[in-house]
Amino acid sequence: MDFKIRCGCGRNVPVPSSAAGSQFRCTCGQILSVPKLSELRIQAGKAPFERTTAERIGQMVADNALPDGNQCASCGTVTGEALKVLLVCERPWQRHAGIWAKIASHAFVFWEWLLSRHPEEPLGRELVVPVPLRMCAACATDLKRRQPQHEIRRILEDVPVYDELLRQYPGAVAMLDV
């Protein structure tokens, strides 16, 4: 994306985001100092940093702003109710000792003691995003009763910002927050 900075000659000089924090030459020959990217974004009327889809959804939830108006996501009737759904995008995991370490640990007591002194630490992070759905009481009750994973995902895919998140995390698991 190109941003514009003003040169002393009066021109608005387009500069690419890759030039942020460096110098750029105007067509008049003057060398301009390009602000850092966050400052360029603020000058262009944008947030200083791009937010992830999960962060944008989190902000919507904090602002109590549900996407897609006031219609039930399942049947389309007008409703003011929302169903609490969680999208589990990432889970921490642990790297376990390999098979050779396990064989060695059984063969050598010292090796077992050494391995036990270094507990396995979790890797990755947990990312669970609340994705509230506008849903009437009848459809919510029906969905709570059946809870089919594929149906919850299909409904979430109909909401553009949730679909964007599902595309970023195709293995995400949708679950009702009861």
pLDDT by residue (tens digit) across 33-80? 999 999 998 988 888 888 889 998 988 889 888 876 788 988 989 998
Does the reported pTM lie above 0.75? no
Residue 28 to residue 53: CA distance in whole angstroms: 41
Task: Supply the Cα-derived Rg of the chain in whole angstroms.
Answer: 26
Cα dihedral angle (131, 134, 136, 138), rounded to 10 degrees?
-30
Structure tokens that stand for 125 in this block: 């992070």
144 and 73, same structural domain?
Answer: yes
In a domain, 9, yes or no: yes
15 and 97, same structural domain?
Answer: no
Residue 105 sits in which domain range? 93-122
How many distinct structural domains can be found in the chain?
3
34 and 66, same structural domain?
Answer: no
Lowest-pLDDT range of 6-15, 94-103, 132-141, 148-157:
94-103
133 and 172, same structural domain?
Answer: yes
- Contact between 17 and 37 (Cβ < 8 Å): yes
Residue 63 to residue 69: CA distance in whole angstroms: 15
156 and 137, same structural domain?
Answer: yes
31-33 and 85-90 strand pairing: unpaired
64 and 146, same structural domain?
Answer: yes
15 and 76, same structural domain?
Answer: no
